[in-house]
Chain A
Amino acid sequence: MTRRPGKGRRQIALKDRLAPVLISLVSVVVVFGAIAFFVGSAEQWPRIQNQFFSVEAMLEAAPGVARGFLVSLQIWLISLVCIGIWALVLAIFRAMSGPWFAPLRVFAIVYVDLFRGLPALLLVLLFGFGIPALNLPGLPKEGLFWGGVALILSYSAYATEVYRSGIEAVHEGQGMAAKALGLTQWQTLRYAILPQALRNVVPAMLNLVVALQKDVALLSVLGVRDAVREAQIYTARTFNYSSLVVAAILFLLATIPLARLTDHLQRRDRQRRLQGAK
C-alpha cells in the first residue's frame, strides 16, 4: 500500500493552526471592546475624547512631535552604540582574572554599583545642568550632550550586568577547553566565550534597548526638544493633550517592530546552525 501524505491530515493541521488564532482574535476583540464600551459610557468621555484623541489636534501637532521624535531617535541610536561598546568593555574588565587585571575589575564593580544605584533622572539633571555650569574650557556646553552622557553612563551599568550574566552562563568547560588548546585569556573570551554570551543576552539586551528608547524622554527636562518636549509645547499652547498621544503612537511604532526583528534574528540564527550539515 502506498502511503499518502494524507489530505485529511493536512486539513486537521490547518484547522489546528487556525483555531488558536481565531480564539485569540475573538478574545482580544471582546476584552478591548468591553473596555472601550466601559470607558465610552463615562459621562466625561466626550470631553476627554476631544482633549486627548482629537484627530484635528493630532494632525496639527504631528509635524512638531515627529520632528522631536527624530531627535529622540538620534539620541537613542547614538546612545545605544556607546552603551553597547562601553558596557562590553566593562564586562570584559570584570571577566578577566589574575592579579594584573584586579584594578580594572574593581573599577568595573564600583562603576556598576554607583551608576545602577542612582536614578537616571537624577544623573540627567546633575550632568545636564551641573557640568555645563562648570564652564570647563574645551568641553561641550549643551545640555543635550551631557544629558546623553548621563543616560549612557547609567544604562551601561545595567548592560554590563546583562553581558556578565551572559558570560557566566557559558559552560565552564568551554573556557577549560580553550585554555587546554593554548588560547590566552583574551583569545578565550574573544573566540570561545563572547560569541556564545552575546547570543545569550539578545533578549535581555532588547529590554534595555526598549527601555532606553523611552528614557530618552528624560532629556526633555533639560529643554531638549525631543518628542515629549514638542508634545508638551503643543499642549501648553492649545490646552489639548492629543499631541501626547501622537508621541505615544510614535514610540510604539518604533519599539514593536524592534521586538519582532529580534525574534526573527534569533530564529534565523538557530536555523543556520541546524542546517549547516550537507
Chain B
Amino acid sequence: MNRIEIEQLTKFYGERQVLDAVDLNIAPHEVVCLIGASGSGKSTLLRCINGLTEFDEGTVRLDGVDIYDESFGRTGLYKRVGIVFQAYNLFPHMSVLENITLAPIRVHGRDRREAEAAGLKLLQLFGLGQYARAYPEQLSGGQQQRVAIVRSLATEPDVLLLDEVTAALDPELIGEVLKIIRDLKTSGMTMVIVTHEMGFARDVADRVCFLDGGRIVEQGEPHRLFSKPENPRTQKFLERIIAAGRLEASV
C-alpha cells in the first residue's frame, strides 16, 4: 500500500490553474523530489499534502485514509505529516527548545519535562544541543533551518515535507542542512522534497518528478531523468539548469 496517494489534484488561485489533475503515489520510506521552474505548482502540491493549502478537486490519502477524514481529528494529520519552509518560520520570541516543544506540549498534551527531555535529545542528535537556550536570531541561517527541521520532527511524523529548505541559505551553509536530510533518508523517513538543488535531488531522491504548468510532465529514477530526459520540456528545463551552472552536465 502507498503511504501517500494523490489523485486528480486540481487547484486554482482565482482564475489561474496551478495544479492540473495531478496523480502521485509515494511509498513508505520513499524520497520523492519535485523539481520545476518557479510557478510550476511544486510548492502548492506539497502544501496540499498536509492540508495547509486547500485544493479544489481530487483527493489526497495518507495510508489509505482521506486527509479530510474525521478519524484524523483536528491535529492528527499535522502530527503525522511535518513540513519545513524555505524561510524557517521559527518563532523569534521563543528559545530553540521552546520552539521545539510548543507543539508536543500544547497540541499533543505531553508533559513539559518529558517533552523538553525529548527535544534536547533530538537537538543533540542533530548536533544542536548547545543552542537549546538560544534564540533563533542568534543562530546562522543553516542552524535555524536545522532547528526548523528538528521542530517538525518533534511530533514524530511519518512523512516530512521540505519546501525549498535551502533556497534562502548562503551557499556555504547549504551542506549542513542537506546532510540532515540524507541522515533522515538513511533512517527511513518518507519525504517529499521541493528543491532547486539538482545535484542533491539526484543523490538523495528515489524518484524525481518534473512539474510544468501544474502537471507532472515526467518522473523517474533520478540518474535516468537527469541524464536522459524524455520529455522535450524536461530537456529544455535541464539544459537551462546546466547552463546556469546548477548541475554538472551528465556524462
Q: Do A and B interact?
A: yes
- Main secondary structure, interface of B, reads loop
Let me know if B234 is at the binding interface, CB within 8 A: no
Please name the residue on chain B nearest to A184 by beta carbon. Answer: B74
> Which of A75-83, A169-177, A204-212 binds B?
A169-177
Interchain CB contact under 8 A, A177 and B135: no
Instruction: Kindly state whether residue B130 has any CB partner on chain A within 8 Å.
Output: yes
A180 contacts B83, C-beta separation under 8 Å = yes
Cα(A187)–Cα(B103), bound, Å: 10
Q: Distance (Å) between the CB of A276 and the closest chain B CB?
A: 5
A36 on the B face (CB < 8 A): no
Q: Is the C-beta of A4 less than 8 angstroms from some C-beta in chain B? A: no
B91 within 8 A of A: yes
* Chain B residues, Cβ within 8 Å of A196: 91-93
Tell me the bound Cα distance from A188 to B101 in angstroms: 14
B:70-105 near A, CB below 8 Å: 74-75, 78-79, 82-83, 85, 87, 89-93, 95, 102-103
Q: Are A181 and B107 CB-contacts (below 8 A) given A192-B91, A276-B135, A278-B133?
A: yes
Within 8 A of A (CB), among B41-82: 50, 52, 74-75, 78-79, 82
Instruction: Name the contact of A276 in the complex, choosing from B79, B89, B138 (C-beta under 8 A).
Output: B138
Interface residue total, chain A, C-beta cutoff 8 A: 23
Inter-chain contact A179/B133, CB cutoff 8 Å: no
User: In the complex, what residue of chain B is closest to A194 when comparing beta carbons?
Assistant: B93
- Known A179-B52, A181-B78, A183-B107: A195·B135 in contact at CB below 8 Å: no
Determine if B137 and A273 form an interchain contact, defined as CB atoms under 8 angstroms apart.
Answer: yes
Q: Provide the residues of chain B in CB contact with A278, threshold 8 Å.
A: 130, 133-134
List residues of chain B with CB within 8 A of the CB of A179.
52, 78
Specify which chain B residues have a CB less than 8 angstroms from the CB of A177 in the assembled complex: 85, 89-91
Q: In the bound complex, do residue A180 and residue B52 qualify as a contact, i.e. CB atoms below 8 Å apart?
A: yes
Kindly provide the distance from the CB of B147 to the nearest chain A CB, expressed in whole angstroms: 12
A264 within 8 A of B: no
Chain A 142-190 interface residues, beta-carbon cutoff 8 Å to B: 171, 173-174, 176-184, 187
Residue A14 at the B interface, CB < 8 A? no
Asked if A22 is an interface residue, CB under 8 A from chain B, the answer is no
Cα separation A177 to B83 with both chains bound (whole Å): 8
User: Quick check: is B219 within 8 A (CB to CB) of the other chain?
Assistant: no
Residues of A contacting B155 with CB < 8 Å?
181-182
Say yes or no: B93 contacts A277, CB within 8 Å: no
Interface residues on B, range: 20 to 34
B16 within 8 A of partner (CB): no
Q: Which of A171, A177, A181 is most buried by chain B, counting CB atoms within 10 A of its CB?
A: A181
Q: Does A67 contact B (CB under 8 A)?
A: no
- CA of A196 to CA of B79, assembled, Å: 25
Contact B93 A173 (CB under 8 A): no
Q: Which of A173, A192, A277 contacts B138 (CB 8 A)?
A: A277
A180's nearest neighbour on chain B, judged by CB, is B83
**Is A199 an interface residue, CB under 8 A from the partner?**
yes
Contacts of B137 in A (CB 8 A): 273-274
User: Are the C-beta atoms of B134 and A174 separated by less than 8 Å?
Assistant: no
Given contacts A180-B78, A181-B155, A276-B133, contact A187 B89 (CB under 8 A): no
List the B side residues contacting A276 at CB < 8 Å. Answer: 95, 133-135, 138
Neighbouring B residues of A187 by C-beta, 8 Å: 106-107
Q: How far is the CA of A204 from the CA of B133 in the complex (A)?
A: 30
Q: Is A191 interfacial (CB 8 A cutoff)?
A: yes
Cα distance, A183 to B87, chains bound together (Å)? 19
For residue B151, CB closer than 8 A to chain A, the reply is yes
Give B220 Cβ to nearest chain A Cβ, in Å: 30
Question: Do A174 and B138 touch (CB < 8 A)?
Answer: no
Kindly state the separation between the CA atoms of A277 and B138 in the bound complex, as whole angstroms: 7
Whether A173 and B50, one on each chain, are in contact in the complex, defined by CB atoms closer than 8 angstroms, is: no
Query: Which residues of A have CB within 8 Å of B91?
Result: 174, 177-178, 191-192, 196
Which chain B residues lie closer than 8 Å to A195 at the CB level?
93
The CB with the most chain A CB atoms within 10 A, among B82, B87, B103, B151, is that of: B103
What are the 7 tightest A-B residue pairs by CB atom distance, in nearest-first order? A182-B78, A177-B89, A182-B75, A277-B134, A181-B103, A173-B89, A182-B107
Q: 12 A–B contact pairs at CB < 8 A?
A: A173-B87, A177-B89, A181-B155, A182-B155, A184-B74, A187-B107, A191-B102, A273-B92, A277-B133, A277-B135, A277-B138, A278-B133
Enumerate chain B interface residues (CB-CB to A < 8 A).
50, 52, 74-75, 78-79, 82-83, 85, 87, 89-93, 95, 102-103, 106-108, 130-131, 133-135, 137-138, 151-152, 155
Other than the given A273-B92, A273-B93, 11 more pairs (CB < 8 A) read: A171-B89, A173-B85, A176-B85, A180-B78, A181-B103, A182-B78, A182-B108, A182-B155, A183-B107, A191-B102, A192-B91
